[in-house]
């Protein structure tokens, strides 16, 4: 009798949770969440207030498993958590708020679910920087409080996802300089178009390496705007000022060594941002740039129908923002490392042709915001 009551209570609880959490993303046929809700990495709408936008990116990197993942077995060496997310990376150690605020040792990352490990699940989106490493490389040393301007809520940055003037199209490329940047620069040059590159000093490329420095220099010299994407592609919504400041400063130093100045524009990796980060970044003089149009190019690498898949995502975004073509200005997201040579010009050439024909003018992020080039950089 007691067991039955417990089971009934548990079933009611599950039903209550299910009722509040509509499904979304990969796990639900790629549907978006209603009412500006975010799509969590478990494919449910919920109130992760700290992470805005791009729930989809989460679902792309997190392998599902077990009962919740259609019976799938985790990739090599990973454990299947009770929530059906692959975790562990060979380690079952707990960390973060879920693990008594413990930090991961040995250069491991603390995942969003509070497991130590070193897979993209642990080190990527929602990696908890307060409790371990995040991103690909080692982190710069923390900057003690007092060594950077104290964040001032009155100076908080706004998270900008669109432009100020109509009829313009800003192509932006994240995560470079990668091995693919030369191809993108060739395409842009052929079409006489200026774009924006949000650069990581240490991610796909390494700004201590001559080849990557030369590619960044070429992008700048050919008239493209250069912005920052943090040093090592961390989720800045899980960090604090002590750890965020060196991510910005060291990246700026590496960029300045190549182009002679520091970028003012920055894009949060994964489009993940919270008020604390906006306050710090605004106080430190950054403009924080998102996007309103995303083909999710990185999910389509190597697929034969990658143009159609990109188009499908564009259609969904254009509907979401109620775009009126060619009036609504568009700030797009592409990734530097997505190969563009699989067909003549690939996705980027397709977008240029299509939106040029519709009457769009291609601009940098700065032009899109009507911001004078003098404000795009500082010494
Ligand atoms: C972990 O840290 C948070 C924030 O500082 C605190 O509220 C919480 O009580 C801590 N938990 C434990 C188990 O120490
Ligand atoms: C940020 O987190 C680190 C690591 O947990 C800690 O040492 C530092 O004191 C924190 N800084 C602030 C401003 O809270």
Q: Please measure the distance between the N-terminal and C-terminal CA atoms of the chain and give it in whole angstroms.
A: 74
User: How many helices (H) does the chain have, and how many strands (E)?
Assistant: 10, 18
Positive or negative: CA dihedral 66, 235, 61, 74: negative
Residue 5, pLDDT score: 46
**171 and 125, same domain (yes or no):** no
Any domain includes 138: no
Residue 199, pLDDT score: 98
- Is any ligand 2 atom within 6 A of the Cβ of residue 145? yes
Top mutation candidate among 240, 245, 280 for ligand 2, by most atoms within 8 Å of CB:
240
* Catalytic residue status for 335: yes
Least confident range from 27-41, 198-212, 295-309, 357-371: namely: 27-41
Asked whether residue 138 carries a pLDDT value surpassing 50, the answer given is yes
Q: H or E stretch including 74?
A: none
Domain of 308, CATH number, reads 3.20.20.370
pLDDT tens, residue by residue, 318-336? 999 999 999 999 999 999 9
Q: Are 204 and 181 in contact (CB under 8 A)?
A: no
Q: H or E stretch including 172?
A: strand 172-176
Query: Containing domain of residue 284, as a range?
Result: 153-378
pLDDT tens, residue by residue, 52-109? 233 333 333 345 666 666 666 665 555 565 555 555 444 568 899 988 999 998 788 8
Residue 65, pLDDT score: 67
Residue 185, pLDDT score: 96
Instruction: Report how far residue 108's alpha carbon sits from residue 116's, in angstroms, rounded to the nearest whole number.
Output: 6
Asked whether residue 26 carries a pLDDT value surpassing 60, the answer given is no
Instruction: Report how far residue 47's alpha carbon sits from residue 126's, in angstroms, rounded to the nearest whole number.
Output: 14
- Is any ligand 1 atom within 6 A of the Cβ of residue 100? yes
Any domain includes 78: yes
Residue closest by Cα to atom 5 of ligand 2: 130
Q: H or E stretch including 18?
A: helix 2-20
**208 and 351, same domain (yes or no):** yes
**292 and 331, same domain (yes or no):** yes
Any domain includes 76: yes
Proportion of the chain above pLDDT 70, given as a percent: 74
Asked whether residue 129 carries a pLDDT value surpassing 60, the answer given is yes
**235 and 306, same domain (yes or no):** yes
Instruction: Report how far residue 42's alpha carbon sits from residue 67's, in angstroms, rounded to the nearest whole number.
Output: 13
* Average pLDDT rounded to a whole number, residues 182-208: 95
Any domain includes 139: no
Q: Closest-lying ligand to the alpha carbon of 100?
A: 1
Residue 55, pLDDT score: 32
Report CA Rg, the chain. 21
Proportion of the chain above pLDDT 90, given as a percent: 59
Burial class (CB in 10 A: 0-12, 13-18, 19+), 1: exposed
Any domain includes 239: yes
The atom of ligand 1 lying closest to the CA of 101 is: 1
Residue 56, pLDDT score: 31
pLDDT tens, residue by residue, 214-234? 999 999 999 999 999 999 999
The band of 2, judged by pLDDT with boundaries at 50, 70 and 90, is very low
Asked whether residue 3 carries a pLDDT value surpassing 50, the answer given is no
Quote the pTM value.
0.77
**220 and 320, same domain (yes or no):** yes
Asked whether residue 258 carries a pLDDT value surpassing 80, the answer given is yes
**Beta-carbon count within 10 A of 175 CB:** 24
Q: What is the mean pLDDT of the chain?
A: 82
Per-residue DSSP letters for 75-120? Answer: STTPEEPTTSBEE-TT---B-BGGGTTBPP-TT-EE-TTSBEE-SH
Count of domains for the chain = 2
- Is any ligand 1 atom within 6 A of the Cβ of residue 101? yes
**120 and 21, same domain (yes or no):** yes
**313 and 169, same domain (yes or no):** yes
**31 and 171, same domain (yes or no):** no
Q: Closest-lying ligand to the alpha carbon of 97?
A: 1
Residue 75, pLDDT score: 59
**304 and 209, same domain (yes or no):** yes
Domain boundary among 131, 161, 182: 131
Domain boundary among 64, 98, 131: 131
Most distant CA pair in the chain: distance in Å?
77
Q: Could you tell me the two tokens for 337?
A: 């490392």
* 133 alpha carbon – ligand 2 mean position (Å): 13
Domain boundary among 68, 101, 131: 131
Any domain includes 6: no
Any domain includes 10: no
**101 and 171, same domain (yes or no):** no
Q: Residue 36, by phi and psi: left (phi above 0), alpha (psi -120 to 50) or beta?
A: left
Least confident range from 136-145, 172-181, 186-195: namely: 136-145
In which residue are the tokens 């182009």 written? 259
Partners of 357 in the β-ladder: none
Task: Kindly give the pairing relationship between strand 159-160 and strand 196-199.
Answer: unpaired
Alpha-carbon distance values, 366 to 22, 103, 247 (Å):
37, 40, 22
Any domain includes 339: yes
* Catalytic residue status for 174: yes
Residue 15, pLDDT score: 34
Q: Are 42 and 83 in contact (CB under 8 A)?
A: yes
**237 and 358, same domain (yes or no):** yes
Positive or negative: CA dihedral 260, 263, 268, 270: negative
**163 and 124, same domain (yes or no):** no
* Average pLDDT rounded to a whole number, residues 246-273: 97
Q: Are 267 and 307 in contact (CB under 8 A)?
A: no
């Amino acid at each position: 009798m007691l067991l039955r009551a417990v089971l009934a209570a548990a079933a009611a609880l599950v039903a209550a949770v299910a009722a509040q959490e509509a499904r979304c993303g990969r796990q639900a046929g790629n549907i978006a969440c209603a009412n500006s809700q975010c799509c969590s990495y478990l494919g449910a709408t919920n109130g992760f207030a700290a992470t805005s936008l791009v729930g989809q990116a989460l679902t792309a990197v997190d392998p599902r498993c077990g009962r919740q993942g259609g019976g799938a077995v985790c990739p090599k060496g990973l454990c299947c958590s009770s929530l059906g997310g692959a975790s562990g990376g060979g380690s079952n150690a707990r960390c973060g708020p879920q693990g008594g605020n413990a930090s991961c040792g040995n250069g491991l990352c603390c995942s969003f679910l509070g497991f130590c490990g070193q897979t993209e699940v642990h080190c990527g989106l929602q990696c908890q920087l307060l409790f371990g490493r995040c991103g690909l490389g080692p982190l710069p040393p923390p900057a003690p409080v007092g060594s950077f301007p104290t964040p001032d809520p009155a100076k908080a940055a706004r998270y900008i996802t669109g432009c100020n003037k109509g009829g313009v199209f800003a192509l932006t490329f994240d995560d470079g300089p990668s091995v693919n940047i030369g191809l993108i620069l060739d395409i842009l040059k052929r079409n006489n178009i200026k774009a924006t590159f949000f650069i990581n000093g240490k991610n796909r490329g390494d700004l201590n390496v001559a080849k990557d420095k030369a590619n960044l220099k070429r992008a700048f010299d050919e008239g493209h705007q250069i912005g920052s994407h943090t040093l090592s592609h961390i989720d800045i919504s899980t960090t604090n000022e002590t750890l965020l400041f060196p991510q910005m400063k060291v990246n700026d130093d590496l960029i300045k060594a190549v182009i002679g100045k520091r970028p003012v524009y920055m894009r949060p990796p994964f489009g993940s941002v919270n008020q604390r980060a906006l306050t710090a970044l605004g106080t430190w003089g950054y403009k924080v740039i998102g996007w309103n149009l995303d083909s999710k190019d990185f999910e389509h690498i190597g697929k034969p129908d990658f143009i159609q898949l990109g188009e499908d995502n564009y259609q969904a975004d254009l509907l979401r923002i109620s775009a009126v073509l060619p009036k609504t200005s568009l700030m797009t997201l592409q990734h530097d490392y997505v190969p563009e040579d699989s067909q003549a010009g690939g996705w980027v050439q397709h977008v240029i042709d299509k939106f040029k024909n519709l009457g769009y003018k291609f601009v940098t992020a700065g032009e899109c915001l009507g911001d004078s080039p003098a404000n795009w950089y500082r010494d």
